[in-house]
Amino acid sequence: MLRVRFAPSPTGFLHIGSARTFIFNWLYARRNGGTMILRIDDTDVGRNTEASLQSIYEGLHWLELGWDEEYRQSERLGLHKQVAAAIFEKGIAYRDFTPADTGEGDRDRGEGAWLFHAEMRNLSREESDRRAEAGEPFALRFRVPRGQERIVQFTDAVYGEQAKSTADIEDFALLRSDGLPTYHLASCADDADLRISHVVRGQDHLSNTFKHVLIFDAAGFPPPQFAHLPLLVAPDGTKLSKRRHGPVVSVTTYRDAGFLPHAFVNFLCLLGWSPKDDRERMDRQELMDAFSFEGINRSNAVVNFKEDDPFDPKALWLNAEHIRALAIEDLADRLLPFAEAAGLRARREKMIRVTPLIRERIKLLRDVATVADFFFVDELPPYDQAELAPDKGDAALAERVLQHACKVLSEIPFEHDSLEGTLRAAAKEMGIKTGQMFQPVRVAVCGRKNAPPLFATLEVLGRETCLKRIGEAIRKLADS
């Protein structure tokens, strides 16, 4: 039975790197009919926050992926301690009464790395029991095989054969002096207990995996299959972090800007994984069908954001691609809340008519506020009247164009083809180019030069609004 898990620790908002780890786990599970497990790794009580837990759920729900089972590590402390005790009883762990390292310390920089406190590792069981009973605090450490060197090895589904000498592995802690399990112990105990078959996680854990193999071995559990993922890094090559890179690393930032969850998932998948057939835009089913560990590469991927633009241009492009692939009504419904948030009074019926006009002009859902605002306001925001002047023309021409437009537009059916025919004829009649005819009308009606196609826009806006706005433009021109 294939079982995978995503195990975030609630010490910050849902990070896009974590989201990608979740996605790859999910894809692997769904692809192979396995079970997806969400395990909240909250053993670090000091750093856990409720807000962060909410952020994780919020982000995960937005992705619309879901999971089959859910656990809370803090509720499984008994299991962890039991596994620790079992290892201790086998003599593969020992109590270390050395006070916790406070930080700076002169901790042995220079020659090699610290491996263990000899006095503690060699403490007799009697002495150890006596001190423990007397209430002296201690950490429980794994007794990494010394004496003759041993090679710890495993095969990573992405990075291949991995080997490391026990001479390079320190006696890491299993339990802290407050009795709580460390990440290594809790993670392995839970993975074994939950019968996780594949551990798919960030490459930052690749070197920890040797310790994990040791733990599984000591506890008598068969180790799962491991698959490590290359990391997501900032343009400067450093690991993405909340402190250094701010909101760009938070999943909710993407949601709030108007990314489609499917587009976001698509983008994240392309970072460190490839279907190897040049496909870029892929829907959920395609991703599921194409996913495999062979497609994952081994070098870190840069999320290409900038100071002034938090989003990777490729993410933006992919989002635009997904937006264009959406059915009109679906897109309109997704646009509505963004229009509302921007203070636009948008009704669904109207939005459905506007959507076809803007869907090729927006990259983010929130762009509806800047691209389609004029469809939903009573009063056009102020604009520079110089914009009304057509190419190779002046304010006087603009005024004549608008007067004429006003006249012809009040007499015809307000529908695309008749609007086009009428305005083209008007241009001819006035002896000017069509562009010179259209632009003043466009600016008068939209309040700007760059807008969706004119005739469809006029049709959606309706005769009353158009004539009113053209009238206002004429007045502006006359006033100056």
Partner RNA sequence: GGCGCUAUCGUCUAACGGUUAGGACGGAGCCCUCUCAAGGCUCAAAUACGGGUUCGAUUCCCGUUAGCGCUACCA
CB of 195 to RNA, least distance (A): 20
Residues 6+ apart with CB under 8 A from 21: 6, 200, 201, 202, 229
The question of whether 350 is a catalytic residue gets the answer no
CB of 236 to RNA, least distance (A): 7
End-to-end CA distance of the chain, in Å?
79
Closer Cβ to RNA, 11 or 385, answer by number: 11
State the Cα–Cα distance between residues 15 and 56, nearest whole angstrom.
8
For RNA, the binding residues in 365-404 under the rule CB under 7 A are none
Closer Cβ to RNA, 14 or 231, answer by number: 231
Residue found under tokens 């803007």: 358
What sign does the dihedral 167-169-170-173 (CA atoms) show?
negative
Sheet with 93-96, side-by-side order of all strands: 93-96, 139-142, 173-175
Contact between residue 227 and residue 156 where contact means Cβ atoms under 8 Å apart: yes
Contact between residue 96 and residue 174 where contact means Cβ atoms under 8 Å apart: no
Site map (CB under 7 A) of RNA, residues 326-355, x = contact:
------------------------------
Site map (CB under 7 A) of RNA, residues 228-267, x = contact:
--xx-x-x-xxx----------------------------
DSSP conformation letters of 118-142: HHHHT--HHHHHHHHHTT---EEEE
Task: Work out which of 22, 154, 172, 414 binds RNA, going by CB under 7 A.
Answer: 172
For RNA, the binding residues in 70-89 under the rule CB under 7 A are none
Whole-angstrom CA distances from 441 to 288, 320, 328, 393, 455 are: 49, 29, 27, 14, 10
Task: Work out which of 93, 194, 219, 271 binds RNA, going by CB under 7 A.
Answer: 271
Under rule CB under 7 A, residue 37 binds RNA: no
Helices (H), 13-76: 16-31, 50-63
> Which listed range, 42-50, 285-293, 340-348, 380-388, lies at the site for RNA (CB under 7 A)?
42-50
State the Cα–Cα distance between residues 368 and 208, nearest whole angstrom.
47
What sign does the dihedral 316-322-325-327 (CA atoms) show?
negative
For RNA, the binding residues in 437-466 under the rule CB under 7 A are 438-439, 442, 449-456
CA dihedral 47, 50, 52, 57 (to 10 degrees): 140
State the Cα–Cα distance between residues 33 and 27, nearest whole angstrom.
10
Which of 81, 90, 239, 242 is catalytic? The answer is: 242
Task: Work out which of 88, 183, 264, 376 binds RNA, going by CB under 7 A.
Answer: 183
Count the site residues for RNA by CB under 7 A. 92
Contact between residue 264 and residue 315 where contact means Cβ atoms under 8 Å apart: yes
For RNA, the binding residues in 128-167 under the rule CB under 7 A are 137-139, 159-160, 162, 164
CB of 479 to RNA, least distance (A): 25
Closer Cβ to RNA, 340 or 385, answer by number: 385
CB of 92 to RNA, least distance (A): 17
For RNA, the binding residues in 89-118 under the rule CB under 7 A are 96, 98-101, 107, 109-114
Site map (CB under 7 A) of RNA, residues 295-324, x = contact:
x-xxxxxx-x-------xxx-xx--xx--x
> Which listed range, 30-38, 171-179, 380-388, 407-415, lies at the site for RNA (CB under 7 A)?
171-179
Active site amino acids = 242
